[in-house]
Chains A and B, each alone.
Chain A
Amino acid sequence: MMGSENYHPLQQEEDEGIEQMETLTLDANNSSKDDDISISKSYSNYRSAMTTLSSSSAEHPLLSPPSIGVSDPLLSVGSPSYADVVFTPPESTSHVDELTISPRSQSSSSEADYLRISVLNPQKVVEPSNSIVPGGNTYITYLITTNTNISDYGGSDFSTRRRFKDFVTLSDRLSEGYRGYFIPPRPDKSVVESQVMQKQDFVEQRRAELEKYLRRLAGHPVIKKSEELRVFLTVQGRMPLPTSIDVASRVLDGAVKLPKQLLGESSSVVEPQDAVQPAKGGRDLLRYFKELKQSVVNDWGNSRPPVEEEDKEFLEKKEKLLDLEQQLTNASKQAESLVKAQQDMGDTMGEFGLASIKLTKFENEQAVLHTQRVRAADMKIVATAAVKTSRLYRELNAQTVKHLASAAFFFLDTLHEYMGLMLAVHNAFSDRSSALLTVQTLISELSSLHSRTEKLETASSKIFGGDKSRNHKLDELKDAIRVTEDAKSCAVREYERIKENNRGEIQRLDKERQADFVNMLKGFVTNQVAYNEKIANEWAKVAEETSKYAKEST
């Protein structure tokens, strides 16, 4: 069919993409019953959606392009599942059209500078050991596939195999090279024993985490253009990035120490699908926020020790963050009581309905007079509506919990990012302060040397030819000072640069956050509208059917 001589890989991909889109759309529709699974997928997709900064315009939620790598089961259901989290219309799909939510899934094909990455196909590698220690070195490698239109890459499709250690290296290199930027944290090294590594579940979990991580990197406007990432994604064979550890990795370790819960992937946190159980839903929100509090405490412990100079900006921001953390804790309690109240309403309505149905049956069985049957019929209408309403409340509540839990993740994410940014600047600040201190020390050394030199020069001018060794020492000192001054200027410039990067990052974050949060609110509100309309219709019908009594009475 490809009669044309030109090969258009992009065009072909789009065609395949459309086919895949259609499949996925069907899958998304069918998955609506599978609440548990779709929610955890929603969260994983939400998180990957969160990291990708694309300027995609408003797209129809169900038709956003899917990722490549359909073999991944986690992805095969509704790629832009943020829309799932946001809104599942009750039976009708008309509301979906009204939504103009733009989920930030992987970039659309119309986007400039995209990187579409997948992590696939974990394979065990056994290296015969060269050391005295018997037994081989066993590890898992993952196939990394990349599709891109970034010109620096010099190609559009790449694939290479990497192991976890390579990811650590990449992460370390990035934090050195991009100080002041928020570097998305890599998956934990975690306490992994080799036995555990064999387990399918762990490998699958890690694969998913690594994929998310790379996608977050690819979504960062600056990092996606980085040399380090390009090398990681494209170079075959052993990864050429140096693995040396330096000061910068201290920052990284600090970020990595954040509890796994923040990444939303630890099994020690109640899984999002459990959060959907209406009865527990509210309580889990509280738990998320408790963990947030803990992570804040942990993180401050990883900031650099205070220096002579006080970083006032940092201290102010720290106060603000702690404030925000308190506000969020309060909000979580209130969200919990809202969920509970909504739940109780639905339950009681249902109980009332059932009791009424029993009463209806009773009256019908015992009826002696016609009027009893009439009354029983009326009661049945009411009972049926009550039971229906109860079911609608239950559905609405499940959605509400989804929204609120997703809001919880959202806030955790945001705070995490802010904290990382703040720490980066704070650490840069302390670097600068150290550099300044060093320079000051050297300058005072220099001035004492100068005074010694003067004395020397006065003395040596009386000697012909001067004192060569002392002159040499002087020159050395002057060189040292020059170098140190340069280093100081560097440190100061570096600090300013980092601060500038930081400011840009914070602005970018603020805008993203705003957009995301508003989208979430929209989803929550739209749901409330839809369900309450349904409930109103049910009762309006009953009111109509019993309106004869109202007329009789007036």
Chain B
Amino acid sequence: MNVQQRSGSGPMAQSPRSPSSQPPYLTVSVSDPAKMGNGVQAYISYKVITKTNLPEYEGPEKIVIRRYNDFVWLRDRLFEKYKGVFIPPLPEKSTVEKFRFSAEFIEMRRQALDVFVNRIASHHELQQSYDLRMFLQADEQSMERARSQETGIFKKKPGDLMQIFKDVQSRVSDVVLGKEKPVEESNPEYEKLKNYIFQLEDHLAEAQKHAYRLVKRHRDFGKAVNLLGNSEGNDLGKAFADLGAKSEVLSVKLQREAHHLLMNFEEPLKDYVRAVQSIKATLSERANAFRHHCELAETIKFKEIDMNKLRLTQSEKLAEAEREYEELKADGAEATRRFETIVKLMNEEIVRFQEQKTIDMGLAFHEFAKGQANLAKGIADAWRSLLPKLEACST
């Protein structure tokens, strides 16, 4: 998938050492899912093909083999390193064994992984990541080593994310020092954003649930229509035979539309939900950074008080205290800088996100409407073609 299509994040950063006159490009595709291994250990591997002229990359084309967990690794590394950026979401890890290897599931996952990598490759910050380069180029053994070194710290489950917010709430009640220090931002824009994201998730989840059901209904309808064709009344053979043939046609149309709906409508909606969940993770990082900055600010204040006390008593501990104080101040400045970076990034990200979502959903709606229009028209045409034959029957 080509870089320019996927996001409105602006042109890629030009590398000053880029030798060719060609504009820089980075194209990635995820394809050719293949089942590897046997039994419980079995998994699906994907071919990741990178085409680029960027100097950081080895050669114009590279093909590597990756599995789902490698993508998870990449996502986690980026989440750690690029706080404030909305990391593109990954498709869910399906725990239902039977479903895990169904052809439709594999195709859906492949598509989602392709979208994932391309979003990273076209994001002006993320595309410069070393981890991305590692992911796209490292041989399989190095990749496996890197993956196994990953500890649980970076693996955040959705439950953990919510816990962070819960901790924040409980800490508010813990603070009985009489100091009016908020442990969460009281900035109204932030409040509004947080509420928006949480409510949006609920609304989207409901819409997506119905979209999922709609897919199922199409399949069921297809089956039911097919059955009707199989029942024959021998005495009225011809009329029934035609009806039966049409039912077969209709059944196929319905099943096809079910698949089309799944891939082009329900999946984008699910992707939207995942993106919102990813934003929630970023929100929690922001909250963490804010808390960290607040705690340090508090610690610095106390340190200052201590220092002044030591100055008054002219203790020999003063020098050490002063050194510690300077360190703390540096840490504090760093924490504040980190927090402010996150805020700045998030403000940009939310605009980018909204723009992109309008485009994504617009396309999804269009596909939905197109599919439904074609289906209904196809059904009408199929039935209409029966009328002349019925006409002949009655004469």
A residues lining the B interface (CB < 8 Å): 100, 324, 327, 330-331, 334-335, 337-338, 340-342, 344-345, 348-349, 351-352, 355-356, 358-359, 362, 366, 368-369, 371-372, 374-375, 378-379, 381-382, 385, 389, 510, 513-515, 517-519, 521-522, 525-526, 528-529, 532-533, 535-540, 542-543, 546-550, 552-553
Given A348-B210, A352-B214, A362-B200, A549 and B386 contact (CB-CB distance below 8 Å) = no
**Nearest 6 A-B pairs (CB), nearest first?**
A549-B362, A536-B376, A542-B369, A539-B373, A352-B210, A341-B224
- Distance in Å: Cβ of B320 to nearest Cβ of chain A: 49
A528–B376 alpha-carbon span in the complex (Å): 10
Sample 24 A-B pairs with CB under 8 A, ordered by A number: A334-B227, A342-B224, A348-B214, A351-B213, A352-B214, A356-B207, A358-B206, A362-B200, A366-B196, A369-B351, A372-B354, A510-B235, A518-B390, A519-B394, A522-B387, A522-B394, A529-B380, A529-B384, A535-B372, A546-B362, A549-B359, A549-B362, A550-B363, A553-B363
Asked whether any CB of chain A lies closer than 8 Å to the CB of B232, the reply is yes
Q: Which residues of A contact B112 (CB under 8 A)?
A: none
A378–B235 alpha-carbon span in the complex (Å): 52
A536–B372 alpha-carbon span in the complex (Å): 7
Name the CB-closest residue of B to A550.
Answer: B366
A535–B386 alpha-carbon span in the complex (Å): 20
- Distance in Å: Cβ of B164 to nearest Cβ of chain A: 23
Among A335, A371, A537, max chain B CB count under 10 A is at A371
**Main SS class of interface, B:** helix
Asked whether any CB of chain A lies closer than 8 Å to the CB of B203, the reply is yes
Asked whether any CB of chain A lies closer than 8 Å to the CB of B314, the reply is no
Other A-B contacts than A525-B390, A529-B387, A539-B372, 8 sampled, CB-CB below 8 A, are: A327-B234, A334-B227, A348-B210, A371-B358, A372-B358, A385-B369, A528-B383, A533-B377
Q: Which residues of B contact A349 (CB under 8 A)?
A: 214
A345–B203 alpha-carbon span in the complex (Å): 21
Is the CB–CB distance between A382 and B369 below 8 Å?
A: yes
Q: Which residues of A contact B192 (CB under 8 A)?
A: 366, 368
Interface string of B194-237 (1 = CB under 8 A from A): 01100110011011011101100110110111011011111110
Interface residue ranges of B176-203 to A (CB < 8 Å): 192, 195-196, 199-200, 203
Asked whether any CB of chain A lies closer than 8 Å to the CB of B120, the reply is no
A3–B233 alpha-carbon span in the complex (Å): 59
Is the CB–CB distance between A362 and B199 below 8 Å?
A: yes
Asked whether any CB of chain A lies closer than 8 Å to the CB of B357, the reply is yes
Name the CB-closest residue of B to A320.
Answer: B234
A419–B368 alpha-carbon span in the complex (Å): 52
- Distance in Å: Cβ of B86 to nearest Cβ of chain A: 15
Q: Which residues of A contact B217 (CB under 8 A)?
A: 341, 344-345, 348
Is the CB–CB distance between B373 and A543 below 8 Å?
A: yes
Asked whether any CB of chain A lies closer than 8 Å to the CB of B361, the reply is yes
Name the CB-closest residue of B to A526.
Answer: B387
- Distance in Å: Cβ of B130 to nearest Cβ of chain A: 31
Asked whether any CB of chain A lies closer than 8 Å to the CB of B393, the reply is yes
Asked whether any CB of chain A lies closer than 8 Å to the CB of B87, the reply is no
Is the CB–CB distance between B228 and A335 below 8 Å?
A: yes
A342–B222 alpha-carbon span in the complex (Å): 10
Is the CB–CB distance between A543 and B390 below 8 Å?
A: no
Given A369-B351, A514-B236, A381 and B377 contact (CB-CB distance below 8 Å) = no
Asked whether any CB of chain A lies closer than 8 Å to the CB of B151, the reply is no
Is the CB–CB distance between B224 and A337 below 8 Å?
A: yes
Asked whether any CB of chain A lies closer than 8 Å to the CB of B25, the reply is no
Q: Which residues of A contact B377 (CB under 8 A)?
A: 532-533, 536, 540
A382–B366 alpha-carbon span in the complex (Å): 9
- Distance in Å: Cβ of A158 to nearest Cβ of chain B: 36
Is the CB–CB distance between A546 and B387 below 8 Å?
A: no
Is the CB–CB distance between A536 and B228 below 8 Å?
A: no
Asked whether any CB of chain A lies closer than 8 Å to the CB of B365, the reply is yes
- Distance in Å: Cβ of B230 to nearest Cβ of chain A: 7
A337–B368 alpha-carbon span in the complex (Å): 25
Q: Which residues of A contact B218 (CB under 8 A)?
A: 345
Cross-chain contact of A327 among B195, B233, B368 (Cβ < 8 A): B233
A267–B301 alpha-carbon span in the complex (Å): 88
Q: Which residues of A contact B365 (CB under 8 A)?
A: 378-379, 381-382, 542, 546, 549
Is the CB–CB distance between B239 and A331 below 8 Å?
A: no
Q: Which residues of A contact B195 (CB under 8 A)?
A: 366
Q: Which residues of B contact A549 (CB under 8 A)?
A: 359, 362-363, 365-366
A529–B366 alpha-carbon span in the complex (Å): 24
A358–B217 alpha-carbon span in the complex (Å): 22
Asked whether any CB of chain A lies closer than 8 Å to the CB of B5, the reply is yes
Given A533-B380, A543-B366, A517 and B236 contact (CB-CB distance below 8 Å) = yes
Asked whether any CB of chain A lies closer than 8 Å to the CB of B140, the reply is no
A522–B393 alpha-carbon span in the complex (Å): 10
A129–B376 alpha-carbon span in the complex (Å): 71
Given A518-B390, A529-B380, A543 and B370 contact (CB-CB distance below 8 Å) = yes
Is the CB–CB distance between A352 and B211 below 8 Å?
A: yes
Name the CB-closest residue of B to A375.
Answer: B358
Q: Which residues of B contact A528 (CB under 8 A)?
A: 379-380, 383
Given A355-B206, A378-B365, A521-B243, A536 and B359 contact (CB-CB distance below 8 Å) = no
